[in-house]
Structure 1
Amino acid sequence: MTVLCRTLLAMSLLALPAAPAMASTSALVVGVDKYPHEVSLDGAVRDAQDVTQALKAADVAPIRQFINEQATKDAIRAAWGELVAAAERGDTIVFTYAGHGAQMPELVAGSEEDGLDEFLELPGFDRARAEETASEIIVDNELSAWFAEAEAKGIHVLFVSDSCYSGGMNRSISGKTRLAPMVRAKLPPPSKEALSGAKVRDVELSQVTILAASLESQPTPEVVIGGEPRGALSWSFARALEGAADRDGDGRISRVELEDYVFSNVKLQSEALQVPNFTPQLARSDKEIVLSLPRSAKVGVAPTVSGTKHALKSPRETGWTGNLPLSVVGDMPDLANIGGDGVPYRWEATSGVFYTPNGDVAAEHVAPKRLQGVVDKFILVDFLKALAAQSPGAVSLKPVKDIYFAGDRLNVEAPQGGYANMLVFNLANTGEAQLLDVQIAGSESHAFKLRDLEVVKPFGADHLVVIATNAPVDAIAAAFANSDLDAAALLRLLETRLEGSESTIAVQPLYTRGQGQ
């Protein structure tokens, strides 16, 4: 009888219509640090390896990875062709690139509005022998032809380019930028793919989404994240893949979810040096899905019962130690909570200037007795960044600049969130914590707005912080009334209340300088 039941069950299962195959995701990952004929980079390979690890954790397969000298155009083109051939309608291919980008006069006359082609520069390209080595660049029109191949099969493409093509910055950054010089030397006639790709218009690539590290008018710098040179876009994208962008925990990342997460975290990790750029600029629909990751909800931040708000993990689980690596030029004062690995902050005893690991001036005229307060401020900033990377909030500063000068006026705004409480404060470059607004459950809630704020001394790096939370904030607000509240004490208050809470955190860096500096 048991055998008969099993046989009938098997026959009934065979008679059922086949379930639709689940769409799959594959990936092509390229990272280049070593350029024999160009200034080499420091963080592009780390970016590629980080993205690959996050893809593997999300069960993405196959993944084709090309690092440094492995990144030849023929190898990358062949891998792309294999992924397209193996994919079926509705599948997704993720293509990420971390390395140098550059520009040159357009190869196909009239194909570019600005008369310039952008290209990804591979290790084998030598601008001194541009005509001979031109096969080791991937021109934007060629990428369009590649994407059109996938489009023709109904395959979704997400291209993430952590490189740059043009632009300049006002802030002094000690790290490298992923910008190679303009190529003006004569190149061979465009390839067949470049010719065909020049005819492809963006509107024809209806299933292709491109995420660039910055606007064409901006550089893409390598910044220090976790003590190491990295690309802020690649770092943020890897965290998104781990599930941090999947706010509703459904295992799928929508265009809106990816955009909200990446914009917030690139600004945060680059200290407001970059604004990412999506193509198309707006989502095609409110429910447009750019990635389906079966394991994203498992490897990321777990959703709460509400399904939309997330319980924050302790930053110590993500590598935050509560210490700050610091290099001192001159006599070392007696300081607490310093040490650790990675690129350090720096303080010059003679001038009193305090520098970030990126080389930015974070504070001026810092006397030895004030140094501990500045150290504690950046320990707190790192703590808040670790929380914000899990659940980013929103705050905007207008006009948008990488640096503001004395006399500039600006507006700050934070939207009203769906949380019971909101706390808005400034961490000044002097190390002081200044309460700007507090909204407590039961009181009237509102969007926070600070209008016509003028930039005045002291100059350096301020950090505006907006915490929207369901955790109680009464005691924190009361502590701000105490003039003795410093960054170290505020850290203790926040650490005990925010870990495990449903919260979002937004941090807006604000770098200022005197006129003529």
Structure 2
Amino acid sequence: MRALNTILLVAMAWLLLSTQASLAASPIVLHLQNPDGGAIRGLIIGIDAYEHVRPLKGSVADARDIEQSLRQMGTNDVITLTDAQANRSSVLQHISDLVQRTTSNDLIILSIAGHGAQEPETIKGSEPDGLQDVFLLPGFAPTPEGSRQRILGSEFNHFIRQFELRGAKVLFVADTCHGGGMARDIDPRAAEMSFRQVSKYTLPVDKLVPVTNESDPVSDLDLDRTAFLAAVDRNTKAPEVKIPGIDGLRGALSYAVARAFEGGADANHDGKVTLKELFANVRQVVYQLSDQRQNVVTKASPGRSVESDVVFQLAQGPTLAATPGPTVPPKPMIPAPPAALSRDLAVAPAPTEISAPIRLAALGSRTNNLAKLTSRNAAIEIVPPVDNPDLIWDSKSRDVISWGDVVAYGIDERDLVSVIDRTAAIRELKRIATKTPQTLRVAPDDGQYHKGRTVQIELSDVTSRAIILFDISGDGTIQMLYPLGSDAPISQTGNLRLQLKVREPFGAEQVVAVTSTKRLPDLEQAILQLDRRKAPGQLIKILNTYLSPDARVGSIGFFTAP
């Protein structure tokens, strides 16, 4: 068992360098293609502006993102309804119109982002717990008239059946939630988080008249040609999250699906995205972006093969010539002898581009000097605790909280810059790991780990792939985890499980996995030279320099406490 030093992370945010080769290459323009030969059609819904329940912040942006991805990938039949446009009569009319346009072998993409809820089932026996999922529309309220502004899960099953009867396949994306649990408790000092779920309610008078007929499926398991992606399971809340490089909050599932449409889910680069590839890609991207607060639920109709059923293809379109721009190639790293791992690396500093600032808030009275904080690696903006900060510093306890989790304990004001730099670096790691993710999980659960507890890091789908695994501790110290000593650098099995033991100091950890078809000795050596050193900025530049084109990167955080 390997000891994992859980100490405070200091990070330097380096913008990823583009190499001469990538600039010289002409990008290939891809477009989506239906493998069955039919059209691809979409109805996309996003609702933030609820009139009578708590509004959301990222659902409209989610809808626009998916719409834009579909259109830029060549799909023209896309209808997007946002906020007030998504009232019940409008949604039903557009679904009806879409059914009429649908022909045999079409692929129908239905996506909804907004609030969800649970109510007693209307079709007896359709749900094991007797509760059905409900999707709330902008005018919903627990009043007689407000009750009309919702769509029942059984109604969506009815609509999906209509598409299937016309010979189409359906991909249904539900970026909402219906339960009330969480993977980890939220620190009460954290800024209020936004979840896509409303409090329980009762309907004294329900004026909704469901759309139904006798041939409707009892449950989604009775559908024949449909695949489902849901943000969380029926017992968990779906948070709106921060996406690296994007302002505001978003739904992690919608973001992941949009990137999948753009080619991110084609794991083996054969131009075909199977259900297995789509599910695995979206599941890992959401898991990473949500800091392990979300586990996506994926389902397919019993008649569809997850292993081999192709959801969509990526067909090559016209090639656009790249316009070379000015570039500063990085100087090669000079490898240090193995016995001198603590010596400095001769690495040319990467040009630093500061984008969105790190938003810092403080609790308590000892905050007068925060405005004087400066960093060479990240812009700093001081904001109130209620103004969506990236970090909150409790000056009394000296804890630093980020998005509901304590990321560092016992941090003095003079050490805050280190935590700020860490936050900037984690942004870059998430950005890298979203492009071609390696499946990476924390076990036994995604909760908070205490001193002495064993954490298991699990990699899957790594047969015949070279593996590098390392940790960035709370203070930015790099720790090589694999391969070490007699470890086999290339996996002979499909899975790798590595046990780590938690010890103080406590806070946030970021475990990163890199896998590739061939061993990357230069990358291994470079990381070993950083072992036990506080150098996350150099690490990010090293990854950009030595990652192979076929590399997959997984990056997950977990949290420890006394």
TM-score normalised to the size of structure 2? 0.76
What is the deviation of 1:423?
1.8
Letter in 1 for 2:61: R
User: Deviations for 1:415-474, whole angstroms, at most 9, x for unmatched residues?
Assistant: 47367643211111232221111379x9652364323x3433323221111112454324
Q: Which runs of 5+ in 2 are unaligned?
A: 1-34, 321-351, 382-386
1:184 aligns with 2:180: no
Provide the rounded CA distance (Å) in 2 between the counterparts of 1:296 and 1:77: 35
* Structural mapping, 1:179-258, within 5 Å: 179-188=197-206, 191=209, 193-194=211-212, 196=214, 199-225=217-243, 226-258=246-278
Provide the rounded CA distance (Å) in 1 between the counterparts of 2:276 and 2:537: 36
Greater helix percent: which structure? 1
* Structural mapping, 1:2-401, within 5 Å: 22-127=37-142, 129=143, 131-169=144-182, 170-172=184-186, 174-188=192-206, 191=209, 193-194=211-212, 196=214, 199-225=217-243, 226-280=246-300, 284-292=305-313, 294=315, 321=354, 325-327=358-360, 329=362, 330=367, 331-332=369-370, 333-339=373-379, 343-348=388-393, 350=395, 351-356=397-402, 358-401=403-446
Letter in 2 for 1:337: N
Point out the more displaced range, 25-34 or 379-388: 379-388
Provide the rounded CA distance (Å) in 1 between the counterparts of 2:317 and 2:526: 34
User: Counterpart of 1:389 in 2: which secondary structure?
Assistant: helix
For residues 192 and 227 of structure 1, do their structure 2 counterparts lie closer, same or farther at Cα, with a shift above 3 Å needed? closer
Asked whether the 8 Å contact 2:283–2:296 carries over to 1, the reply is: yes
Asked whether the 8 Å contact 1:108–1:198 carries over to 2, the reply is: no
For residues 355 and 349 of structure 1, do their structure 2 counterparts lie closer, same or farther at Cα, with a shift above 3 Å needed? closer
What is the deviation of 1:266?
0.2
Asked whether the 8 Å contact 1:33–1:40 carries over to 2, the reply is: yes
Query: 1:12 — aligned with what?
Result: none
Query: 2:10 — aligned with what?
Result: none
What is the deviation of 1:413?
2.2
User: Counterpart of 1:27 in 2: which secondary structure?
Assistant: strand
What is the deviation of 1:501?
3.6
Asked whether the 8 Å contact 1:103–1:181 carries over to 2, the reply is: no
Provide the rounded CA distance (Å) in 1 between the counterparts of 2:498 and 2:88: 51
What is the deviation of 1:335?
2.5
Letter in 2 for 1:284: S
Task: Choose which of 535, 539, 548 in structure 2 pairs with 1:486.
Answer: 535
Query: 2:347 — aligned with what?
Result: none
User: Deviations for 1:155-196, whole angstroms, at most 9, x for unmatched residues?
Assistant: 101110000001222332632100012232234477453464
Letter in 1 for 2:172: F
Asked whether the 8 Å contact 1:373–1:487 carries over to 2, the reply is: no
For residues 219 and 347 of structure 1, do their structure 2 counterparts lie closer, same or farther at Cα, with a shift above 3 Å needed? closer
Provide the rounded CA distance (Å) in 2 between the counterparts of 1:363 and 1:391: 29
Point out the more displaced range, 463-472 or 278-287: 278-287
For residues 344 and 181 of structure 1, do their structure 2 counterparts lie closer, same or farther at Cα, with a shift above 3 Å needed? closer
Higher relative contact order, chain-length normalized (CA < 8 Å, sep 6+): 2
How many pairs were matched up?
470
Asked whether the 8 Å contact 1:232–1:270 carries over to 2, the reply is: yes
For residues 135 and 322 of structure 1, do their structure 2 counterparts lie closer, same or farther at Cα, with a shift above 3 Å needed? closer
Point out the more displaced range, 368-377 or 462-471: 368-377
Query: 1:313 — aligned with what?
Result: none
What is the deviation of 1:28?
0.2
Provide the rounded CA distance (Å) in 1 between the counterparts of 2:215 and 2:197: 23
Q: Which runs of 5+ in 1 are unaligned?
A: 1-19, 300-318
What is the deviation of 1:508?
1.7
TM-score normalised to the size of structure 1? 0.82
Query: 1:449 — aligned with what?
Result: 497
User: Counterpart of 1:257 in 2: which secondary structure?
Assistant: helix
Asked whether the 8 Å contact 1:427–1:462 carries over to 2, the reply is: yes
What is the deviation of 1:199?
4.5
For residues 324 and 366 of structure 1, do their structure 2 counterparts lie closer, same or farther at Cα, with a shift above 3 Å needed? farther
For residues 75 and 322 of structure 1, do their structure 2 counterparts lie closer, same or farther at Cα, with a shift above 3 Å needed? closer
Letter in 1 for 2:505: P
Asked whether the 8 Å contact 2:392–2:401 carries over to 1, the reply is: yes
Q: Percent identity?
A: 26
Provide the rounded CA distance (Å) in 1 between the counterparts of 2:36 and 2:426: 46
Asked whether the 8 Å contact 1:397–1:410 carries over to 2, the reply is: yes
Provide the rounded CA distance (Å) in 1 between the counterparts of 2:534 and 2:389: 26
For residues 377 and 438 of structure 1, do their structure 2 counterparts lie closer, same or farther at Cα, with a shift above 3 Å needed? farther
Letter in 2 for 1:354: V
Provide the rounded CA distance (Å) in 2 between the counterparts of 1:267 and 1:49: 22
**Superposed CA RMSD:** 3.1
